[in-house]
Amino acid sequence: MNSRERILGRVRRALADVPDDARPYEEAVARDYLREHGQRSVARTVDLLAENLADYRALVHRCTDGELPELVARLLAAHGSGSVVVPPGLPTGWLRAVDATLVQDSAASTAPELDRVDSVVTGCAVAVAETGTIVLDGSPDQGRRRITLVPDHHVCVVRVPGQVVSSVPEALERLDPARPLTWISGPSATSDIELDRVEGVHGPRTLEVVLLSGS
Amino acid sequence: MSGTFVGMPAFPVAARQAVGNETLRGNLRHATHTIRDKRARAVAELDDWAALREAGKQIKDHTLRHLDRYLVQVEEAVTAAGGTVHWAADADEANEIVARLVEETGESEVVKVKSMATQEIALNEALEARGIHAYETDLAELIVQLGKDRPSHILVPAIHRNRGEIRDIFRSEMSEWGRPAPEGLTDTPAELAEAARLHLREKFLRAKVGISGANFVVAETGTLVVVESEGNGRMCLTLPETLISVVGIEKIVPRWQDLEVFLQTLPRSSTAERMNPYTSMWTGTTGEDGPRTFHLVLLDNGRTDTLADEVGRQALRCIRCSACLNVCPVYERAGGHAYGSVYPGPIGAILSPQLRGTKSEIDASLPYASSLCGACYEVCPVAIDIPEVLVHLRERVVQGGPAVRGGNRVVLKPAKGHAAERAAMRAAQWAFTHPGALRTGQRLASRTRRLHPRTLPGPGRAWSGTRDLPAVPAEPFRDWWQRTRGGKDGAK
């Protein structure tokens, strides 16, 4: 008997005392928790996202479509970035005003090469206001998971209010589990030393979130 | 400090040593009080906390009740997504599978995400014996590994170390493992974190094999979830070419939607954050994004034995948040090492004796490593009634009875040390029902009290070895009462 059969057999014997429960999954779990916490206007939800992002030390900026290229250029310059990695499907206009070297991400590029790049600019899939979280799903405007991890400076553009949801349940509904997902709440942090929170261990030490509105 | 738990003394002996260590108590008190206060505030933000807790409990109970079905579903979904599933009945088998998979890549080093399951099976030691170096990349695990120490907390394994101790470990040990600590390293947390960043980055960038556990596995989609803060998890999960995840079979949740419960309760219960900085979710392999090869090792190692216990099986609901450690008055004073297991604190006191059985001295003592105050149950985000299981396991230790070990039904004998206690209780019962004998005995005891030893002789030694014997008064209470009528005659 192989281990698969052995383990499944043990599970079935272990449950022999359990009375037959034909209740389907849908009835087994009472989902009387809230879909979102509190009633808010759309504008207030975006404000809450900004507050919670800032609370965990992300730097939050707001701008319109027309202002975005200037803002991105300014953020990269202020960080002293000489190079920026670009996901394959990033809207070309976003980096129009940037002075730094643009590095296209490619499967052939190695981790040490990526380590020499200063910044990365991406879009996102969804942002969660209640927790101050942005979620990346590997779409062309976000690129592979590694490009938002190895460079020390991440600029993430969130379209508001379209990409903003209130809560974790609403975010999961919008996401596709088949894609690789990265949930990001503030920059890399550790509390391992006397439970003092320190920003920046292995991931980007600076996370800048741009809340981009249409007009 | 030995790197292994084998041969640990029973909890009371280890705890007595720990309680005498003032630095340790100071470090622990500071840490546990900080986190428990923050957690209470984070939980208070959600006014549906009780409903989330109940839903978490019900999801886990439902999964355990149909675990065979969900295990098969996980296997199908992961395989369909391009992964390979392996089954490991015990620690040896899991270690053998992982070592073989690493050897097949031709590599001799691996980077690791912090994982309780791989600690439980002592994977690092097993790999080392095959010539494979495993590098822990979580900051706290790095501190433990460099210090040749053992973890003392589920979430913050180096909680027993203060910043000065960590600086000393980095200064003296980092060069042995790779990039040395920077010159003039001080004990500020930011500098220590920076030293760890530099030391580990060279390992991340060259690693070809990553090893992880998982916080959750979604049966319907085959998705694995790892929750972390530092980014070391993301490094190990995305940069290597091969990823091997060792996951206990109790980590399964049926559906994608179930994550909405645990992604709200886990971060707030563990680090007291609205959300932890990074959560990675992956389903098999994804072209050029992340590892090309993915292996999932499903681990039993005592879990099905635990599942067979009607009262104790609720321990398998645990999502390893460690909230119960931070509120436990016993953990706060004794520290994690005294529990002699990778799972310390209240949850360790019920999980370890179930996963490993109660044969060893340490495992038989763990159900007693509690004051039964119930604080652990109050904070548990999946409502594990830890005191109920503790009492149930005490009964098993003292009286023996039917249990399942290694998949087989066995009848456990009462633990040895408890025969004397039972004899003492029977003697007490006889004395209390024979007042003349009791009076004579008490008088005799009072008159000879200067001659009493500090510890009991014979079989009573085990009992008195863990308790201070009460001092015998100069006069029995009943004699004093008769002489003074309760002090009413002016006796002082």
A48: amino acid identity, one letter: L
SS3 of A163, please?
coil
More confident residue, B437 or A65: A65
Is the separation of the CB atoms in A157 and A69 below 8 Å? no
Band of residue B442 on the pLDDT scale cut at 50, 70, 90: confident
**Which residues of chain B make contact with A140, given a CB cutoff of 8 A?**
none
Query: What residues does each domain of chain A span?
Result: 42-188+201-213
Asked which of B309-313, B327-331, B388-392, B400-404 is least confident by mean pLDDT, the reply is B400-404
Give the ranges where B88-240 is alpha helix by DSSP (H). 91-105, 116-120, 123-129, 139-146, 163-177, 189-206, 232-238
State whether A7 and B46 contact (CB < 8 Å). no
- Residue B223 pLDDT > 90, yes or no? yes
Residue B443 pLDDT: 87
- Residue B57 pLDDT > 50, yes or no? yes
Residue A77 pLDDT: 98
For range B276-300, the mean pLDDT: 97
Q: Measured between alpha carbons, how far is B250 from B83 in angstroms, rounded to an integer?
A: 19
Is the separation of the CB atoms in A2 and B300 below 8 Å? no
Task: State the sign of the Cα–Cα–Cα–Cα dihedral B10, B15, B20, B23.
Answer: positive
- Residue B78 pLDDT > 70, yes or no? yes
For range A176-181, the mean pLDDT: 98
Predicted-assembly ipTM surpassing the 0.90 threshold: yes
State whether A202 and B197 contact (CB < 8 Å). yes
Per residue in A61-95, pLDDT (tens digit) is 999 999 999 999 999 999 999 999 999 999 999 99
State whether A180 and B282 contact (CB < 8 Å). yes
Q: Is A24 on the interface with B (CB under 8 A)?
A: no
Give the ranges where B345-384 is alpha helix by DSSP (H). 345-356, 361-365, 375-379
- Residue B454 pLDDT > 80, yes or no? no
- Residue B3 pLDDT > 60, yes or no? no
- Residue B155 pLDDT > 70, yes or no? yes
Band of residue B1 on the pLDDT scale cut at 50, 70, 90: very low
Which residue's entry shows tokens 């090869």? B293
Candidate from B59, B139, B307 with C-beta closest to A190: B139
**Which residues of chain A make contact with B205, given a CB cutoff of 8 A?**
111-112, 115
Band of residue A215 on the pLDDT scale cut at 50, 70, 90: low
Which residue's entry shows tokens 């080093």? B109
Q: What chain A residue is nearest to B205 in terms of C-alpha separation?
A: A111
**Which residues of chain A make contact with B310, given a CB cutoff of 8 A?**
17
Band of residue B111 on the pLDDT scale cut at 50, 70, 90: very high
Which residue's entry shows tokens 């261990």? A201
For range B371-378, the mean pLDDT: 96
| Of B359, B360, B386, B392, residue with least CA distance to B371 | B386
Question: Other C-beta atoms within 10 Å of B37: how many?
Answer: 11
Q: What's the gap in Å between the CA of A144 and the closest CA on chain B?
A: 5
State whether B230 and A203 contact (CB < 8 Å). yes
Three-state SS for B251-265 is HEECCHHHHHHHHHH
Cβ density class B294-324: b for 16+ within 10 Å, e for less: bbbbbbbbbbbbbbbbeebbbbbbbbbbbbb
B391: amino acid identity, one letter: V
Q: Is A18 on the interface with B (CB under 8 A)?
A: yes
Instruction: Write down the mean pLDDT value for chain B.
Output: 92
Architecture of domain A42-188+201-213: 3-Layer(aba) Sandwich (3.40)
Three-state SS for B398-427 is HHCEEEEECCEEEEECCCCCHHHHHHHHHH
Per residue in A41-57, pLDDT (tens digit) is 999 999 999 999 999 99
More confident residue, B72 or B445: B72
How distant is the alpha carbon of residue B341 from its chain centre? 6
Length of chain A: 215
Band of residue B459 on the pLDDT scale cut at 50, 70, 90: low
Question: What share of residues in chain B are helix, strand, coil (percent, to 5)?
Answer: 55, 10, 35
Residue B419 pLDDT: 64
- Residue B447 pLDDT > 90, yes or no? no
- Residue B92 pLDDT > 90, yes or no? yes
Band of residue B2 on the pLDDT scale cut at 50, 70, 90: very low
Is the separation of the CB atoms in A133 and A169 below 8 Å? no
Beta-carbon contacts of residue B451 (< 8 Å; ≥ 6 apart): none
Per residue in A121-169, pLDDT (tens digit) is 999 999 999 999 999 999 999 999 999 999 999 999 999 999 999 999 9
Band of residue A96 on the pLDDT scale cut at 50, 70, 90: very high
- Residue B203 pLDDT > 50, yes or no? yes
B290: amino acid identity, one letter: G
Compute φ and ψ for B371, nearest 5 degrees.
Answer: -95, 0
Q: Is A89 on the interface with B (CB under 8 A)?
A: no
Q: Measured between alpha carbons, how far is B447 from B479 in angstroms, rounded to an integer?
A: 13
Asked which of A164-168, B64-68, B351-355, B420-424 is least confident by mean pLDDT, the reply is B420-424
Residue A33 pLDDT: 97
Instruction: Write down the mean pLDDT value for chain A.
Output: 95
Is the separation of the CB atoms in B194 and A205 below 8 Å? no
State whether A10 and B290 contact (CB < 8 Å). no
Asked which of A169-178, B24-33, B222-231, B288-297 is least confident by mean pLDDT, the reply is B24-33
**Helices and strands: H and E segment counts in chain B:** 23, 12
- Residue B335 pLDDT > 60, yes or no? yes
State whether A18 and B218 contact (CB < 8 Å). no
Candidate from B55, B223, B264 with C-beta closest to A29: B55
Q: Measured between alpha carbons, how far is B313 from A177 in angstroms, rounded to an integer?
A: 30
**Which residues of chain A make contact with B45, given a CB cutoff of 8 A?**
37
Is the separation of the CB atoms in B71 and B303 below 8 Å? no
Which residue's entry shows tokens 């599942």? B307
Asked which of B10-14, B132-136, B259-263, B330-334 is least confident by mean pLDDT, the reply is B10-14
Instruction: Please state the pTM of the whole predicted model.
Output: 0.90
**How many Cβ pairs within 8 Å bridge chains A and B?**
250
For range B124-135, the mean pLDDT: 97
Q: Measured between alpha carbons, how far is B369 from A26 in angstroms, rounded to an integer?
A: 39
State whether A188 and B68 contact (CB < 8 Å). no
Asked which of A30-34, A92-96, B30-34, B377-381 is least confident by mean pLDDT, the reply is B30-34
Of chain B, the percentage scoring pLDDT greater than 70 comes to 96
Residue B54 pLDDT: 98
